[in-house]
A and B are shown apart, each in its own frame.
Chain A
Amino acid sequence: MCLGIPGEVIELMAEHEDLAMVSVEGVKRAVNIGLLREDGVLDLAPGDWILIHVGFALSKIDEAEAKASLDFLTGLGDAYTEELEALAASDIT
């Protein structure tokens, strides 16, 4: 029920101002983007990614934040490997 899936906006549909065609790994579905339209302004374009929940877009995925999250996660890995290498290279005797 919490099910929220990231999907890519393919097309903003002309017939209906609140609908966009969205693709999830090639599976296409019309999604209602009305919750992303505030005061008549919609900041959404094909190629953007959104979070889909029960047929509605709840949020636009912030790609910069996603990259930052991933960088943090892999960075942990780098720091770790660096530490291991440093440990291997050091000699305290």
Chain B
Amino acid sequence: MTEDLLAESSKSQVQDLGPSIPTRANWAEEAVAAHAGAEHLTREEQVLARIAKARARKPKIKEKRITLSHGAGGKATQTLIEAVFLDAFRNPVLEQLEDGASLATAAGRLAFTTDSYVVSPLFFPGGDIGDLAVNGTVNDLAMCGSRPLYLSCGFILEEGFPVADLQRIVASMAAAAQAAGVQIVTGDTKVVERGKADGCYITTAGVGLLERPTVLSAAAAEPGDVVIVSGPIGDHGITVMLARGELDIEADIISDTAPLHELTANLLDATGDGVRLLRDATRGGVATICNEVAVASQVAVVLDESSVPVRPVVNGASELLGIDPLYVACEGRLVAVVAPDRADAAMAALTAHPLGAGAAVIGTVKDDPPGLVLLRTTFGGTRIVDLLVGDPLPRIC
């Protein structure tokens, strides 16, 4: 029987099955027509140059409905932000598109940020949605170079959600706030019918004091700069993925959620104005941050795969699932772009703090090719690390 299968299969032939007339996919015909007139280029360099131009064009949103990709932190999220939100709300502060807004007021400079938390499941090894909410907001403020001060939090609760679970979440938030030296000073609560909120969603806003004159920006990177990550990547994303229980995989790993305000303060104190940019590596991971820097500063970010710290268990899970740790979310790791003469001071400041013990230099900034992130693989070859399309791990934070 098995021989039959192989034997018959080897007699296959391409056939012409005659005149059944196929229909056409209208969306595809329209997409092709939209680019009609674009002359066919015969040289590889010309094609690539055209692609670079196309990628630099003003973003337009093509989908009629929101899909999970829009929440992944990759290309679709970026397009949504630029084509829908930025387009409508446009102002110079918003256009910076940093982790938090830097506001000049008569009272001094403030950092202001907002975040929402929709993680599923709500409770996972190493933390819960409450920890994420506080640490995540504190971290956005810290990445602006500010000292986090006050948080607000709004709850959207689903009818039927156990009060005991809410108390657990709130207790986590209180403990996290204390550890981060912030106060939750105002809030809001709404309840929606069963089935409309998946248990609990949390929205936060945070305010911090910009005590240092340093201006941090993704557009500030320069050739020669050094890219540093504060510890092993991917722990949070993999933990949450496995905690969902759909994959029947167990591993000894917990979320890395942590407040990074002390780490950033130490780093900024040690390096003065030598830090160009700080970002926490959440949705979209390290790869996404590097792409944002490359585009905003019009430089090349060149990463060295063998220098990127990844725990073996994160590697194993990623291989098993077919995903790349460079794109997996962390909730307690930062990426810093630092001037070359301050790199040593930066590493010393990071490694001296428990949350930065695993810090490593993972790459450098070059001037060419601008706008791209390149990776020197452990194998010694090279490849591009592009922005994510689609979402390998939905609802991670």
The answer to whether any beta carbons of A and B sit under 8 Å apart in the complex is yes
A-side residues, CB < 8 A to B, are: 3, 5, 24-30, 52
Chain A residues whose CB sits within 8 angstroms of the CB of B252 once the complex forms = 26
B250 in contact (CB, < 8 A): yes
For the complex formed, measure the closest distance between the CB of A32 and the CB atoms of chain B, giving whole angstroms.
11
For the complex formed, measure the closest distance between the CB of B146 and the CB atoms of chain A, giving whole angstroms.
38
Contact indicator B322/A27 (Cβ below 8 Å): no
Contact indicator A29/B249 (Cβ below 8 Å): yes
Instruction: Give the number of residues in B that approach A within 8 Å (Cβ atoms).
Output: 14
Bound: A76/B284 CA distance, A: 41
For the complex formed, measure the closest distance between the CB of A22 and the CB atoms of chain B, giving whole angstroms.
10
B316 in contact (CB, < 8 A): yes
B-side residues, CB < 8 A to A, are: 247-252, 312-313, 315-317, 319-320, 322
For the complex formed, measure the closest distance between the CB of B378 and the CB atoms of chain A, giving whole angstroms.
15
Bound: A71/B319 CA distance, A: 25
Contact indicator A25/B250 (Cβ below 8 Å): no
Contact indicator A25/B316 (Cβ below 8 Å): yes
Contact indicator A24/B248 (Cβ below 8 Å): no
Bound: A27/B247 CA distance, A: 12
For the complex formed, measure the closest distance between the CB of A4 and the CB atoms of chain B, giving whole angstroms.
10
For the complex formed, measure the closest distance between the CB of A85 and the CB atoms of chain B, giving whole angstroms.
23
Contact indicator A26/B313 (Cβ below 8 Å): yes
Contact indicator A25/B248 (Cβ below 8 Å): no
* 23 residue pairs A–B, Cβ–Cβ below 8 Å: A3-B322, A5-B320, A24-B317, A25-B312, A25-B315, A25-B316, A25-B317, A25-B319, A26-B251, A26-B313, A26-B316, A27-B249, A27-B251, A27-B313, A27-B316, A27-B317, A27-B320, A28-B249, A28-B250, A29-B250, A29-B320, A30-B248, A52-B320
Bound: A3/B318 CA distance, A: 12
Bound: A25/B315 CA distance, A: 8
Bound: A5/B252 CA distance, A: 19
Bound: A27/B313 CA distance, A: 6
Contact indicator A26/B248 (Cβ below 8 Å): no
Contact indicator B313/A25 (Cβ below 8 Å): yes
Bound: A24/B313 CA distance, A: 8
Bound: A25/B319 CA distance, A: 10
